[in-house]
Amino acid sequence: MELHALTIHELQDKLRSGETTAADILASVYSRIAAVDDKVHAYITLTKEAAELQAAAADTAIRRGEMGVLTGIPISLKDIFCTQGVPTTCGSRILANFVPPYDATVVGKLRAAGAVFAGKANMDEFAMGSSTETSYFGVTRNPWDLDRIPGGSSGGSAAAVAADECIASLGSDTGGSIRQPAALCGVVGMKPTYGRVSRFGLVAFASSLDQIGPFTKDVEDCAILMNVIAGYDPRESTSVDTEVPDYRSFLDRGVAGLRVGIPKEYFIAGIDPEIRTAVETAIGILEKGGARLVEISLPHTEYCLAVYYIVAPAEASSNLARYDGVKYGFRSPEGRDLLDMYKQSRSAGFGEEVKRRIIIGTYVLSSGYYDAYYKKASQVRALIRRDFDAAFEKCDVIATPTSPTAAFRIGERTDDPMQMYLSDILTISANLAGIPGISVPCGFTRDALPIGLQFLAGHFREGLLIQTGAAYEILAATRSLIARYKREKMSLS
């Protein structure tokens, strides 16, 4: 197999043995980008020159025997992470010219671990979307079917990993923005517990929901990246100072005796039958692996979407106020006076979906409406959190589909926001409750589109998710299934 198609741990073995070099790996990744990114459009910015220097430094380090956890591994970053000296657009015209003078905490951690940064991946504008169609820089296409969306908002990251345009990627997940595109692109995506990974330097969408996590080709790589990015950060007040386990130690624990909760509210109408069948088959495989299935209930599930679409836009309306044309980013030259400059800059700088959410958020926080919307939503959110607390007394992990459907066609839902919002119906609850979730591939539809299986666990139990995901990956022989589909069915190959 070509180098770009390998995993972090496979490449590390080759680097360690001297079989290959960081420069070779990067060259392979860049040749792949050159071959396919015209079609996929996973990237907004490529940082080839800087990456080559990083790869050279990695090779020097390896020669000196100073190999870090990610030395020489080309990784892409969703364009929502601030990168010192490299444009950080958030998929928006309003930040098209923004170059941060600082690195996000996670970027600094990857850098310190020796990673090579391939480039900045496309995304829905300000992470608002489920299809990567709202980006100011154009649509990203699903490598499995170029007529379809890759999911979103971290669609560029998911597509880049699926198309081997990088070895792994970092994304952010506010309502499913890592797990849903991971499912639709056939890769592994994890959203850690709120407070587990520092948000410092992550351009904020909805501060109480945003969380950073990895996109990888297998669960072992997910554990490797989690080992690097997890941990307390004094620069973030909501960061939690609790011990970070070695996530790799969960990889081969199996699922014997594990209690897997099946929430009845997640297997309802609206779930594509093909998806439902695939997920039920996957759960059957876990059972054969020794897991005990437990039926559970999350009674407030039906309110998740409504609560989310009050809380997230409310926070976003405030978080996005800083993009006013005064200090950095886009400023409309049309403004006649201060107020007009604000209006023109924000009208032209933001896309439709972002403006829709700013207006919703402004509305729900307005005097006279706050109690009925924001306050009430916060109260229901507490109930949703309690549902999970109760459920995790009966089970260790919860298994659900990640997305109600496989990848849909480009343009199919852009005119129907409600339909688009339903894409995240199965993932939003984890953000509202602050719990971790992972999506692992669990087969394909008849049209050879990937299907994702989601596991959820209690706060700071990412280890359990890695344990369950890794066990499933082995029991279902996912890696070889994906490799075969890639050879035979992927429209790019």
Partner 1 sequence: MEFEPVIGLEIHAQLLTDSKIFCGCSTRFGAPPNTHTCPVCLGMPGVLPVLNRKVVEFTIKMALATNCRINRENGFARKNYFYPDLPKGYQISQYAYPLAEEGYVDVETEGGNKRIGIIRIHMEEDAGKLIHDEHFPSSYVDLNRTGVPLMEIVSAPDIRSAEEAAAYLRRLHEILVYLEICDGNMEEGSFRCDANVSLRPRGQEEFGIRAELKNMNSFRNVQRALEYEIKRQRYVLEGGSEVIQETRLWDDAQGITLPMRSKEEAHDYRYFPDPDLVTVAVGTDWVEEIRRTMPELPLEKRERFRREYGIPAYDAGVLTASRVLADYYEEVVRGCERPKIAANWVMGDLLRFLNEDRRDIRDCPIPAASLAEMIRLIEEGVISGKMAKEISEEMYRTGKEPRTIIAEKGLVQITDEGALIPVLEKVIADHPNQLAQYRGGKDKLFGFFVGQVMKATQGKANPQLINDLLKKMLAG
Q: Which residues are catalytic?
A: 78, 153, 177
Distance of alpha carbon 391 from alpha carbon 139, whole angstroms: 39
Q: Which is nearer to partner 1, 98 or 267 (CB)?
A: 98
Beta bridge partner(s), residue 86: 83
Task: Name the residue nearer to partner 1 (CB basis): 235 or 288.
Answer: 235
Q: d(Cα 388, Cα 382) in Å, to the nearest integer? A: 10
By 3-state DSSP, what share of the chain in percent is helix, strand and coil, each rounded to 5?
Answer: 45, 15, 40
Cβ 124 to partner 1 shortest distance, Å? 16
Give the residue among 420, 425, 401, 424 at the shortest CA–CA distance from 410: 420
CA 128 vs. chain centroid, Å, equals: 13
| Backbone Cα Rg of the chain | 21
Provide the pairing of β-strand 450-457 with 397-401.
Answer: antiparallel
Residue 370 interacts with partner 1 (CB under 8 A): yes or no: yes
Binding-site member from 18, 101, 257, 270 for partner 1 (CB under 8 A): 101
Residue from the set 188, 202, 296, 406 that interacts with partner 1 by CB under 8 A: 202
- Looking at the DSSP bridge assignments, the partners of residue 188 are 216
Considering CB under 8 A, how many residues would be counted as binding partner 1? 43
Q: Is 428 in the site for partner 1 (CB under 8 A)?
A: no
Per rule CB under 8 A, is residue 88 in the interface with partner 1? yes
Q: Which residue in 36, 204, 225, 430 binds partner 1 (CB under 8 A)?
A: 204
**Contacting partner 1 within 331-350 (CB under 8 A):** 338, 342
Q: How far is the CB of 440 from partner 1 (least distance, A)?
A: 29
List, in order, residues 6 or more apart from 92 with CB less than 8 Å away: 125, 126, 136, 323, 349, 350, 351, 354
User: Of 251-259, 298-306, 366-374, 469-477, which part binds partner 1 (CB under 8 A)?
Assistant: 366-374
112 or 338: whose CB is closer to partner 1? 338
Least distance from C-beta 199 to partner 1, angstroms?
A: 7
The string of DSSP letters for 256-320 reads TT-EEEEEGGGSSTTS-HHHHHHHHHHHHHHHHTTPEEEEE--TTGGGHHHHHHHHHHHHHHHHG
Binding status of residue 282 toward partner 1 by CB under 8 A: no
Q: Does 372 bind partner 1 (CB under 8 A)?
A: no
Shortest Cβ 203–partner 1 spacing (Å): 4
Sole binder of partner 1 in the list 45, 281, 362, 414 (CB under 8 A) = 362
Of the candidates 26, 75, 90, 492, which one interacts with partner 1 according to CB under 8 A? 90
Among 68, 74, 156, 201, binds partner 1 (CB under 8 A): 201
CA distances from 60 to 118, 261, 301 (A): 19, 48, 52
What tokens were used for 387? 């549902």
Q: For residues 188 and 442, is the Cβ–Cβ distance under 8 A?
A: no
Binding residues for partner 1, rule: CB under 8 A, are 81-82, 88, 90, 95, 98, 100-102, 104, 199-204, 206-208, 234-238, 314-315, 317-318, 320-322, 324, 326-328, 338, 342, 362, 365-367, 370, 374
